[in-house]
Structure 1
Amino acid sequence: MPESDLIAACKKNEAAAQRIIYERLYSRMLAVCQRYTGSRETARDIVQDGFVVLFEKIGTYAGTGSFEGWARKIFVNMSLSYLRRNDALRYSEPIENTTGRSVTTGLILENISANDILRCLEQMPYGFRTIFNMYAIEGYSHNEIAKLLDISESTSRSQYSRARSWLQNKLNDLK
């Protein structure tokens, strides 16, 4: 069934169409939520709640742009709400380069698997991970991040820079 027909059926609260949308999006939205929370169990809870919200708000989807992109924003916002409720968003934790090595400006990813990178992202402090995900993975601008998280644009930029440095140090340790 084409996506547009599924969306129309979901707007009519048809359970079969909702199940298909759920099955198509579940694994990708779980990955989004897990990148933010760092916990598969927490991500599962957020995804369940996110689908409830998605089906409640599907009537607001205008059909312009990607449906998955529209849905992804719901799950990102649900993840951010979870992090705010649990006071996990901290933006003033400086990360010092305690190894004494200089941090390279570019990432060299040879011999590093995607799973290694994901494990490093899961270990990243919440504040860093949130901004890194929003900017580098989701494609939000620093201005958009600042508005969504109620922080300054310069805070977003500095936390992203610190997150990159943190990730580079972790990946260098894997080599």
Structure 2
Amino acid sequence: MDENLKILVKKCQENKTSAQAELYNQFSSQLFSVCLRYADNADDAQDIFQDGFIMIFQKINQFRFEGSFEGWLRRIMVNCCIEKHRNKNHLYVINEELTPDETAENDDEEFDTEEYTYDELLEIIRSLPDRYNQVFNLYTIEGYSHQQISEMLNISVGTSKSNLSRAREKLKELIKKNKEINVMSK
């Protein structure tokens, strides 16, 4: 950990408001991006983001300077996103699960996203049903394993794999549909 960041975190642990403001300014854009990926819209993302920073400052004394501080911040923000969805009483479990063979088959497939901007891709991902969006973000972007996702969302590993597979299929459909609309509008 960079010495300046270490000093900043220690000052935050001492409840120094100037240090808290500096920490907020240093990490706000990257942590807001996390919230945008999970939220239904920018207003919801802003609410989660604010709650997340409150949680960060409440728990900053728990950071032990082991491992990545940025990773610690991201975990808190992701957990706030997940908690927000739990509080909205969303369903995380779907009735069907793919067999391991079906899941493995779909894991290697990719789709071309090079012609889209970050904001366009974000909008497509946010249009996924919540249960797919969360698993997709946790697995693909945050790098959690299916076992970790199953524990975080209180679902089975098979459901996590199934939701990821379905999220990828749905994304392919949405991207294909988007391309067709773009071709027709030209």
| Distance in 1, Cα, partners of 2:115 & 2:32 | 26
User: Which digits, 9 at most, give the CA deviation of each residue in 1:52-93, with x for residues without a partner?
Assistant: 111111111111121111011011111111100101243328
What is the CA–CA distance in structure 2 between the aligned matches of 1:88 and 1:23, rounded to whole Å? 32
Q: Which amino acid aligns with 1:69?
A: G
* Structure 2 residue runs without a partner (length 5+): 97-105, 180-186
Q: Distance in 2 between matches of 1:162 and 1:84?
A: 20
Secondary structure of 2:93's counterpart equals: coil
- Contact 1:9/1:17, CA 8 A, preserved across alignment: yes
Of 8, 11, 33, 1:9 maps to: 11
Match of residue 153, structure 2, among 133, 142, 149 = 149
Q: Distance in 2 between matches of 1:62 and 1:117?
A: 36
Q: What does residue 34 of structure 1 align with? A: 36
Which residue among 95, 115, 121 is the counterpart of 2:119?
115
Moved over 4 A (4+): none
Counting only pairs closer than 5 Å after superposition, residues 152-171 of structure 1 correspond to structure 2 as: 152-171=156-175
Structure 1 spans left out of the alignment, 5+ residues: 95-102
- TM-score of the two chains, using structure 2 as the length reference: 0.84
Letter in 2 for 1:34: L
Residues paired across the two proteins, number: 167
Distance in 2, Cα, partners of 1:113 & 1:20:
30
Look up the equivalent residue of 1:8 and give its one-letter code: K
Q: Judge conservation of contact 1:83–1:89 (CA < 8 Å) in 2.
A: no
Note if 1:63 corresponds to 2:77. no
* Identity within the alignment, %: 35
**Contact in 2 for aligned 1:128/1:159 (Cα 8 Å):** yes
Relative to structure 1, is the Cα distance of residues 73 and 155 closer, same or farther in structure 2, using a 3 angstrom cutoff? same
**How big is the shift at 1:121?**
0.8
Hey, what's the Cα distance between the residues in 1 that align with 2:13 and 2:109? 48
Q: Which moved more, 1:141-150 or 1:32-41?
A: 32-41
3-state DSSP class of the match of 1:157?
helix
SS of the residue aligned with 1:2? helix
The offset of 1:18, in angstroms, is: 0.2
